[in-house]
Structure 1
Amino acid sequence: MTYEKWIDVTKGIGILLVILGHNDFDQSFLTVIHTFNMPLFFYISGYLFHYKKYKLNPNNFIFQKFKRLVVPYFVTNIIILCTFTLLFFFKMNSFNGNSPVKYLIGVFYGNGAPLNPPTIYTNLLSVPSWFLLGLFCASLILYLLTDSHEKYGLAFSSFLCFLVILFGFRISKYILLPWSFDIACVSMIFMFSGYLVNYYKINWLYNNFKSNLYNSICILLLFIVISINGAVDMNTRTYSNLFFFSIAGLLGTYITIEFAKKISKKESLLMKIFAYFGKNSILILLYHTFIPIVILDTTNNFCNIREIISHSPILYSLTMLVSSIVTIIIIKRLPFLDRIYF
């Protein structure tokens, strides 16, 4: 499959929404972002998945996903743990009363929740990194679903997908499974949809008039559904009504993709910026919360910028973004880490 420019642009928009979503903006704004920012990434992953590529060699598929998702997860968390330990030694950082061993339990359990209050099974070193382990599990589930689609057709695989989603939704009310496996099950709403859209080459738009009309209707429907369903968050398993959560996630994903496609028609500066962020979205996801903390901790004894930045969501978002760009540049110059992340 020819890699389409809009895919990187979409991921770039998505990762910027993730950064904004991890700041203290107005709750209504955060509700809109959380409705579709993670569903968007699951959808794109499903859209890019090709069963036939790995049909004869599932072990290679597992290996590639493990290398791409699981290895960066553990490497990043080890780096963060070592950094915080060093800062703690020099009294520049606090482990909040927890020992490194307790943090490691959270890392290996692989959950970004619960957060209020967190437990020993919550990865507090890098809360956003739950997505990598969740996506790894989701990729394995999608492989099984696409295998059933290939062998038994759309009706059977769709029913199987429904059962998987229902299992993830129900079990999350009682226990948060390791490696966010329950989220991986629920994510099939978006991953399997993305796979089917690409598999059947579904394209609803025929001209600019219909495109603008559909987009306007979708935006209106999105806000209606959000107002009905309320706040959602895949990490904390806050779905409210599963049907409305699914509809809002798919609508937000569709709107973002259409916006990305419009941007991608021209080689503009905006397109290049979004594409750059999209190509480096995993690195940004992993480091955008960690690096600003290190910066503020290490500079706290010299200048009082913490109070200024931490109380301004816009400034803190910019700090996250700029520090992420610097991190990308540095990692690309380090051969070992470059091989891990790229």
Structure 2
Amino acid sequence: MMNQHFEWVNIAKGLGIILVVLGHAPIDDILRQYIFAFHMPLFFLLSGVTFKGGYTELRPVGFAKKKGRSLLIPYFTFSVITYTFWFFLERPLLGKDDVDAIIPALGIFYSAGDNYLLTYNPAIWFLTCLFVVEIGFYLLLKYVPWNSVRVISIVAVAAAGYFSTRWFDSMLPWSIQVATVAVLFFGLGYLLKARTKIFEYSFGWVAAAATLSLIYPLIQFINRIDMRSGEYESIPIFISTSLLGIAGILFLSFRLEGKSRILSYLGQNSLIIFALHFMIFAIIRITLEYGFGIEGNPMPITSLWGIMFTVVTLIISVPFVYLIKNKAPFLIGK
């Protein structure tokens, strides 16, 4: 269990999972572009914060088994659950039968976010990608003795990952190209966990507002950032918006530490929410369409509808979290 010193990580994950759900909800394009500019780098960095240096005492097979239990078991179990829901309910009831069901079935094993491979659950790629990142970072810590060489290696791998998205027409299995870029944020998180003093100062509210505000003018220079698909457009802007967004969330997290049980709860259960929110989206849409005759967006302000959609999704996720943690913990590798 995470000790109290890292309670801010739960708060940050709570804020992050709200952004993930909101970013996938029906919102205005500019708000989605803003969220996508940093929300996934945030999760990779937070995973690096909680990565233990003591893992290097494990043998490679032992480490792979440990991470396979915490990441791959949830990936495959939630993939089967959400694919089954998509095939029998979402696909026929929401008019998605134009997608060949074989493609996303194969996507369960390929785990890359293009060509409809993950249409049954577009967010699930993160778990296999994080597994690849953690394996790579573990090998780096275990077999590369000098910190300077480690940093150079991470930057080189990230650069190769970025350019590979231009060399290949489609994504490699388990989002390997994304993992090579993500390790940059993961490594930064690992270095950051012993150097968080700057986020603890009382000016955190102002700093959070300033850093999060600076993202908006930067995204005006690009059309789209989507880490899942390896779409970065401008690496300087992608790195800048990622670091600004991460800094803003961390400043907020230290200010909110111990003050928000809701955010802490969402952070502690972010994996379950991450894996199930697209299924919950479909449950809401099916209920609205077949129960109340409401299709699409019934409100004039799209993002307001998206915010309401997000709140309802998070509320519906609570019984799922309870059932999984108390009745079926094996689904999350427990």
User: What is the TM-score normalised by the length of structure 1?
Assistant: 0.85
CA contact (8 A) 1:291 1:323 kept: yes
CA shift for structure 1 position 85: 3.6
Partners of 1:332 and 1:309 in 2: CA distance: 35
Structure 1 residue 275 corresponds to structure 2 residue 268: no
Q: Does 1:338 align with 2:332?
A: no
Deviations 1:119-154 (A, max 9, x none): 25x2111000011111111111111232355x1x22
Corresponding letter in the other structure for 1:108: F
Q: Residues 114-263 of structure 1: matches in 2 within 5 Å?
A: 119=115, 122-148=117-143, 151=145, 153-173=146-166, 174=168, 175-198=170-193, 201=195, 203-204=197-198, 207-209=201-203, 211=204, 214-215=207-208, 218-219=211-212, 221-229=214-222, 231-263=224-256
After superposition, the Cα gap between the structure-2 partners of 1:19 and 1:216, relative to the gap in structure 1 and judged at 3 Å, is closer
After superposition, give the CA deviation of every residue in 1:8-63 in whole Å (9 maximum; x if it has no partner). Answer: 01000000001111123222222221111111100011111123233233322211
1:49 match: secondary structure = coil
* Conserved 8 A contact 1:128-1:286: yes
CA distance in 2, matches of 1:161, 1:239: 18
Partner of 1:72: 74
The residue number in structure 2 matching 1:116 is none
Q: CA deviation at 1:230?
A: 5.1
The match for 1:321 is 314
Deviation at 1:298, TM superposition (A): 5.7
- How many aligned positions are there? 325
Q: What SS is found at the alignment partner of 2:86?
A: helix
Q: Distance in 1 between matches of 2:199 and 2:87?
A: 53
> Structure 1 residues 212 and 223 mapped into 2: Cα distance closer, same or farther (>3 Å)?
same
Look up the match of 2:25.
23
Q: Is the 8 A contact 1:148 1:156 kept in 2?
A: no
Greater relative CO, 1 or 2 (CA 8 Å, sep 6+)? 2
**C-alpha separation between the residues in 1 aligned to 2:120 and 2:24?**
15
> Residue 84 of structure 2 corresponds to which residue in structure 1?
82
Q: Deviations over 1:133-177 (max 9, x none)?
A: 11111111111232355x1x2221111111110111111122311
Q: Distance in 2 between the 1:330 and 1:241 partners?
A: 43
Q: CA deviation at 1:236?
A: 1.9
Identity %: 25
Aligned to 2:275: 286
Q: Please give the per-residue CA displacement for 1:280-323, whole angstroms capped at 9, x wherever unaligned.
A: 10111111111231343366444314446697323322232222
Structure 2 CA distance for partners of 1:302 and 1:188, relative to 1, 3 Å: closer
Q: How far apart in 2 are the matches of 1:88 and 1:163?
A: 42
Q: Residue type matched to 2:106 in 1?
A: I
Question: 8 Å contact 1:280–1:328 — kept in the other structure?
Answer: yes
Tell me: CA distance 1:192–1:305, structure 2 relative to 1, closer, same or farther (3 Å): same
Q: Deviations over 1:83-141 (max 9, x none)?
A: 3343389x64555234433221122110122xxxxx25x21110000111111111111
- What is the CA RMSD across the aligned residues, in angstroms? 2.6
Letter in 1 for 2:275: L
Q: Where does the alignment leave 5 or more consecutive residues of structure 2 unmatched? A: none
Contact in 1 for aligned 2:12/2:250 (Cα 8 Å): yes
Residue of structure 1 in register with 2:106 after alignment: 105
> What is the TM-score normalised by the length of structure 2?
0.87
1:232–1:240 contact (8 Å) kept in structure 2:
yes
